[in-house]
Structure 1
């Protein structure tokens, strides 16, 4: 990867003074993920391992929102028709994005404005530092669409950030939490006005970029390694569990209700 000339097709990319900025760029849909953007993000973070000129990364918001999760029509609808092997390929691929984010040596700062839900919340969670605006609304909403709260490492990472009890509440109920709640819990490092979010995140990233980047990479690596359970093991377990949930009728009911703008009625099968 040459960060000076890199031109992804699925998200925006800028690079200046050692800092790369990434942002999903479909503001009319609150920046959802697609199969293609998942894969290109994964490949990008993998490539950052060898991009020594990139010292820090900001994963930013666009159009007043961070990310609305997997696109309902581009991802959720096809998943309801996939076989188990295909579903497991998908859940492993999404987990690979988190592995790539945790595995790249550069510190990642998430600059969260507006909606940050589902896989969008996971991207922020998988970042090293998180800043938010007062308008930020975050939800690990997998339960609300008939899936397990475990997804892309959520059960491994989220309790380590905010504690087991708070993580359990969020993953069981799928409720949203405010920026101030997130700051009080230690999920957000700071809450700043919307007009300062970008500069605040970039200033922090530039400070990291000016620091000892190799040492920062070692710090990040140790933060990953010094867990009781390896992240790979946790993500694989969650990938299998999530793939099983994706074959339930409740998952399909949730999609159909969402498409009809109705509340899903779950039946436990």
Structure 2
């Protein structure tokens, strides 16, 4: 890929109209079943690396999902037994060598916009991770709300292995909040591989399952969340994100307001009526 091709790729945008179930991506797979959207990174012959174009299309998909009322949960996974091998060596890393500083900043800003879009999505995002999950792939997993992994998974934030800093796409802000400052420091300074059992022990994976079950377990969890009070779930995600920058007192006040809003939903009324009638509530997300 030429430098100019890479530059134009970073500037790409994709017009994704709602509902997203009608959208056919160019650079990955998308399936919406019921209330769950499944995104599959689909370059299995290369362990599903990202390109300028797939970064841009993923960013725009997650931006569109923010406004899709049909989708209540999102699963992201990779094809062929691997999650994602990060940025493609010849389609991203090599073209970046010939960019000037404004061009490099344009690229790094674009990649960060993907994480921003994922965190801004009201829907919980569940990553189903098997095999290789490194570089930008590890970042996508990190930016998800929950991660179901396998013992065969290999997670690495290997930016320093290519001469860069570990502070990529929000890693220094988000990763310590998942696994703690000391453990995050070790992974970001060394770029070493964290295998599946260690990832679960450190809290990066919510749980481990067998390889053949990883997507099914992630989907099952997504469906369980989709059957719950999805307005409340969206509020939980929003507050968890906002409260990173709040004091405890500010967080308590913000949660008081958020919970008061949720108490005006029909789902709250449904839960009371079901309890009073000794029934299981059927939530509708409003």
Tell me the TM-score normalised to structure 1 length.
0.84
1:133 & 1:77 partners in 2: Cα distance? Answer: 32
1:161 correspondence with 2:152: no
- 1:2-81 equivalences under 5 Å are 2-81=19-98
Unaligned runs of 5+ in 1: 230-269
Match of 1:90 in 2: 107
Aligned equivalent of 1:131: 148
Taking the aligned partners of 2:192 and 2:139, their CA distance within structure 1 comes to 14
Question: Aligned to 1:204, what secondary structure does the other structure show?
Answer: helix
Cα deviation for residue 4 of structure 1 reads 2.6
Q: Verify the 8 A CA contact 2:20 2:64 in the aligned structure 1.
A: no
Q: Distance in 1 between matches of 2:21 and 2:55?
A: 22
Which deviations, in whole Å up to 9, do the C-alpha atoms of 1:14-44 show, x marking residues without a partner? 0001000001100000000000000000000
Higher RCO (C-alpha 8 Å, min separation 6): 1
Provide Cα deviations, 1:55-87, integer angstroms capped at 9, x if missing partner.
000001210000000000000001010000000
| TM-aligned CA deviation for residue 3 of structure 1 | 2.7
How far has the Cα of 1:211 moved from its partner? 1.0
Runs of 4+ deviating beyond 3 Å: none
Aligned length: 229
Structure 2 counterparts to residues 216-255 of structure 1, below 5 A? 216-228=233-245
In the other structure, the counterpart of 2:5 is none
SS at match of 2:40: strand
Is 1:184 equivalent to 2:204 in the alignment? no
3-state SS of the aligned residue for 2:39?
strand
Consecutive unaligned residues of structure 2, counting only runs of 5 or more, are 1-17, 247-286
What secondary structure is seen at the aligned counterpart in 2 of 1:226?
Answer: helix
Cα RMSD of the aligned pairs, angstroms, is 0.8
- Give the SS at the match of 1:60: strand
Residues 150, 211 of structure 2: 8 Å contact kept: yes
Offset, 1:198: 1.3
Question: CA–CA distance in 1 between the matches of 2:29 and 2:103?
Answer: 29
Q: Which residue does 2:8 correspond to in 1?
A: none
